[in-house]
Amino acid sequence: MPVEIPKDKWTGKVREVSFGATAADGGTRSKSIVVGGDTTLPYMQFEAPTPHTPVIAVEIKSRRPEDWSTLLEETWGDAMNDPASWAKAAEAAGADALVLWLTLADTPEDAVKATKAVLAASALPLMVFGPGQVEKDNELLVAVSEAAKGEKLVLGICEDKNYRTIVATAMANGHLVSARTPMDVNLAKQLNILITDMGLPANRIIMDPTTGALGYGIEYGYSVMERLRLASLQGDGMTQFPMMVTVGFEAWKAKESKVGTGVPEAWGDWKARAIHWETLTTTALLESGASIVVLRHPESMKRIRAAINELMAA
Amino acid sequence: MYIIGENIHIISEKVKEALTARDSEFFMDLAVRQVEAGASAVDINMGPRKKDWAEVFPWIVKAVEQVVDVPLCIDTTNVDGMEAALQNITKAQPILNSTSAEPERLEKIPLLAKKYGAKVIALTMGSSGIPVEADARVNIAVETLIPRALEVGMPVQDLIIDPLVLTTSGCQQYCPHLIGAVQMLQYAWDPAPMISVGLSNVSNAVPNENRPLINRVYLSMLMGVGLQMMIANPFDQKQNDVIRWIENKDTSNPLAAVYNKIAERTGANEEPQPEDFDMSDPEQLAIWKTTQILLNKVIYADAYLNQ
């Protein structure tokens, strides 16, 4: 007996957002990346095709991080010593885009230097995030934004306590912003309204609804993402933004991935576990609607690439 | 609309100060003004007063009863304090605020009501919290709250079921279900218990400038499904206008017509429609947007009116 699969029809659509400017658009990137445009729940290909393949971005730092897992240090090796060589290594490992995360120790000159070095070393579209302290973020990102005018960077991180300066500089220099809120649909929507109220076109916002790693609140993260996607499809204009999540940052904070000693033997091989942690966290969030996932380990990238290929082919 | 005036509440700084100073004039004035503004009863929330309840509860009810004749609604979690208040009330039949379906409160409060002939507000909330779905809340009333009242020998008419208003800022999915619960509770028992809600809870955690609008629009929906009693601010003139317009089916001005239409639609289990509103009028547009967040159609954000 033929079974008819019921199909949902939605009225709303996630906005298409593109970042990274090629020479034709006045930048130096090898390609632009487009995300969003979804008209149904993630990977319901029988209802509507997923318009754009999800993006794997790799997190690199402006200075060699002191607190990263030795597993990550082993795999990236000396490339971690400077952002240009790290960017090259990340591109070689298969990244679609790069996230340059600045640190508190950086001066505006350091931030500009690191950004320019990364832009020169790799032609992938770039996001640049501040260290997460209001004054420092503003100081560094304004300098970076001006120095990389026209590259269509994604500048982050806008939060409800600090978005005006970053949005203003993004508007002035042709960049996008990442709008981050702490796992709350109401706050996510509120920040989108506040940012668009300033005059930044809505197709230059990517929202980061924040997540927790597997075992550390991921269910709150994906519930919020699911709710936001449903609201988008139902026509709520101030939720219709593609979503990014900084999975590597979250997954490598978890004890399960960060450390190999002082944990029960039954947990098994450390490296295998750590990669699983990042990979499983990522796949769950892709299926809840993430368009951009920011990862740390090359092996996780490979596995996520394979998962994305299957999801897109289904 | 039977309004239990909510303004004597310890959360207010002025009330806190007046209580510390035992300023009975302050409380007498606030009680009188609420009744003059249309309150049919006066809520008295002094908090639990764990240390000085034996002195505070008798003092406050004696003070307020000097100047008003309406029922006093004793709003506290302190059962001893409640009884101390009851022992000193001499005028109208008091209201106890509140019990829930949690075993300990449900054990004690109805007995107290029976002993003193008081009414009881009973919340549709069990030990495991507040259910989202309307029928789950009605079930708590029918399976737990009403049987307990009957068990202690209280008339069902002395039971006031409160199906619990939660805020649109964070608990948005509860808002439409509460409307359903108010509607269903009226047919849940014969004779029907009274139904009351704490209206302004719907705008908890909402910026102050938007609270009255959200309260008014929700009120019009709840009146549409037959709400006749609530704990609310009797000084809110625009809210009082809405009550008057809907009670009198007064559609003589555009806003009155809009609020009546919302009530009518809600009562008929329909949703307000865009054509019910003159969207070129900013006030009506704001009311329309507010219906959409209250019905959980559009996600709430503090700046939802700017969208």
Which residues, 6+ apart, have CB-to-CB distance to B233 below 8 Å? Answer: B5, B6, B7, B200, B239
Chain A residue with Cα closest to B205: A186
Residue A57 CA from chain centroid, whole number: 6
The residue type of A158 is: C
**Mean pLDDT score of chain B:** 96
| Alpha-carbon distances, residue B302 vs A93, A165, A205 (angstroms) | 43, 21, 19
| B2-234: CATH, from 1.10.1060.10, 3.20.20.20, 1.10.645.10, 3.40.190.10 | 3.20.20.20
Residue B298, chain A, CB below 8 Å: the answer is yes
Q: How far is B288 from chain A (nearest CA, A)?
A: 14
Q: What is the distance between the alpha carbons of residues A243 and A237, in angstroms, rounded to a whole number?
A: 14
Counting residues of chain B whose pLDDT is more than 90, the rounded percentage is 95
B chain contacts of residue A187, beta-carbon cutoff 8 Å: 301
Residue A238, chain B, CB below 8 Å: the answer is yes
Look at A190 and B306 and tell me if their CB atoms are within 8 Å. Answer: no
pLDDT in tens, chain B (307 residues): 999 999 999 999 999 999 999 999 999 999 999 999 999 999 999 999 999 999 999 999 999 999 999 999 999 999 999 999 999 999 999 999 999 999 999 999 999 999 999 999 999 998 888 999 999 999 999 999 999 999 999 999 999 999 999 999 989 999 999 999 999 999 999 998 999 999 999 999 999 999 999 999 999 999 999 999 999 999 999 999 999 999 999 999 999 999 999 999 999 999 999 999 999 999 999 999 999 999 999 999 999 998 8
Can you spell out the DSSP letters for B73-102?
EEE-S-HHHHHHHHTT--SSPPEEEEE-SS
Q: How far is B193 from chain A (nearest CA, A)?
A: 36
Q: How far is B204 from chain A (nearest CA, A)?
A: 14
| Alpha-carbon distances, residue B123 vs B99, B112, B163, B230 (angstroms) | 6, 16, 6, 13
Chain B residue with Cα closest to A233: B298
**CB contacts < 8 Å between A and B, how many?**
38
Least CB-CB distance to B303: which of A185, A190, A228? Answer: A190
Residue A92, classified by CB atoms within 10 Å of its CB into exposed (0-12), middle (13-18) or buried (19+), is: exposed
The residue type of A73 is: E
3-state secondary structure of B30: helix
Provide the whole-model pTM: 0.87
Cα radius of gyration (chain B): 19
Q: What is the pLDDT of residue A1?
A: 81
* Dihedral in degrees, nearest 10, Cα atoms A222, A224, A228, A233: 50
Segment 20-39 of chain A within 8 Å of chain B by CB: none
Looking up tokens 């219906």 gives B291
Cα radius of gyration (chain A): 19
Look at B306 and A193 and tell me if their CB atoms are within 8 Å. Answer: yes
Looking up tokens 């597993």 gives A71
CATH architecture of A41-313: Alpha-Beta Barrel (3.20)
Q: Which two tokens stand for residue A130?
A: 């501040």
A chain contacts of residue B306, beta-carbon cutoff 8 Å: 193, 197
> Beta-carbon neighbour count of residue A5 at 10 Å?
7
Look at B307 and A187 and tell me if their CB atoms are within 8 Å. Answer: no
What is the residue extent of each domain of chain A? 41-313
The string of pLDDT tens digits covering residues B145-170 is 999 999 999 999 999 999 999 999 98
Q: What is the distance between the alpha carbons of residues B111 and A236, in angstroms, rounded to a whole number?
A: 50
Instruction: Taking the CA atoms of A273, A277, A283 and A287 in sequence, report the sign of the dihedral they define.
Output: positive
Look at B303 and A193 and tell me if their CB atoms are within 8 Å. Answer: yes
Q: What is the distance between the alpha carbons of residues A26 and A177, in angstroms, rounded to a whole number?
A: 19
Q: What is the distance between the alpha carbons of residues A78 and A75, in angstroms, rounded to a whole number?
A: 9
Mutate to test the interface with B, among A160, A189, A241 (most CBs of B within 10 A): A189
pLDDT averaged per 10 residues in sequence order, chain A, 314 residues: 89 97 96 98 94 98 95 97 98 98 97 98 98 96 98 96 97 98 96 97 97 92 96 95 97 92 91 96 97 98 98 89
Q: What is the pLDDT of residue A5?
A: 86
Least CB-CB distance to A238: which of B170, B172, B301? Answer: B301
Chain B residue with Cα closest to A235: B298
Least CB-CB distance to A238: which of B169, B170, B307? Answer: B307
Q: What is the pLDDT of residue B6?
A: 97
Q: What is the pLDDT of residue A2?
A: 87
Residue A7, classified by CB atoms within 10 Å of its CB into exposed (0-12), middle (13-18) or buried (19+), is: exposed
Q: What is the distance between the alpha carbons of residues A115 and A130, in angstroms, rounded to a whole number?
A: 12
What is the separation, in whole angstroms, between the first and last Cα of chain B? 33
- A17-48 as b/e, with b when 16 or more CB fall inside 10 Å? bbbbbeeeeebebeeebbbbbbbbbbbbeeeb
Look at A185 and B299 and tell me if their CB atoms are within 8 Å. Answer: yes
> Beta-carbon neighbour count of residue B261 at 10 Å?
19
Q: What is the distance between the alpha carbons of residues B89 and B65, in angstroms, rounded to a whole number?
A: 8
| Alpha-carbon distances, residue B147 vs B94, B129, B141, B144 (angstroms) | 21, 20, 8, 6
